Amino acid sequence: MSSRADRALLATVIADVSLIVGYIVSALRPDYRVWPIGEHSWRWWFNWSALSVVFAGFPVLATLDRDPFVFDSLRSKLAGGVIATLGMGFALSALFELGWMESSGREGELRTDGIYEYTRNPQSVGFIPFVVGTILATNSWKLAIHGILTIVIYVLFPYAEEPWLRDQYGETYVEYCEQTPRFFSLESLKDLLRS
């Protein structure tokens, strides 16, 4: 790999795969979990190092590898920009609603109201369309590879966190899971749009 874009892609793929493996382990073997991070432990360093590369990969790859892919029409780029903006807005509103510390996997109060009334994982729900929109808007095949792996991370993330949440909040969390979908259901989406 010689170009800067190739090196950036390699770094993001390593970070993506590290998190994917870590979150699978966290879901299947909670005693060996990497998420949630807790206080400044090895899990904190592992997650924030990898997540920093994942997040930085979007603007870096969008800049270094713009327009060599298949979504080259102005319409797809504009649609991608709108989708990415709406997704990021939804994810950020959920982050601000929950708070930075709790979003970082630290113990706090279980949120079941606001956005969390419609989905247990609104940050994942928001980041997935952000990633799809960014791929469309930048038309980058390298960003598409990174983006698809990032979507896998955000799909796996709730499964990694749920055993810990059950331990923290017990029956209250179990009841919340029975009432609220992990991502979205058609019913919860309708309820959100009506509110």
Give the per-residue pLDDT at 68. Answer: 80
Distance CA 80, CA 46 (A): 31
> Is the link from the previous residue into 122 a cis peptide, with omega within 30 of 0?
no
| pLDDT tens column, 150-166 | 999 999 999 999 999 99
For residue range 114-136, list pLDDT tens digits in order: 999 999 999 999 999 999 999 99
For CA atoms 145, 138, 90, 43, the dihedral sign is positive
pTM of the shown model:
0.89
111 contact partners, CB below 8 Å, separation of at least 6: 97, 98, 102
Per-residue pLDDT of the chain (195 residues; tens, 9 = 90+): 459 999 999 999 999 999 999 999 999 998 888 887 766 688 888 998 999 999 999 999 999 998 888 878 899 999 999 999 999 999 999 999 888 767 666 677 888 999 999 999 999 999 999 999 999 999 999 999 999 999 999 999 999 999 999 998 999 999 999 999 999 888 888 888 888
Question: How far is it, in rounded angstroms, from Cα 83 to Cα 131?
Answer: 9
Q: CA 193 to CA 195: how far, in whole Å?
A: 6
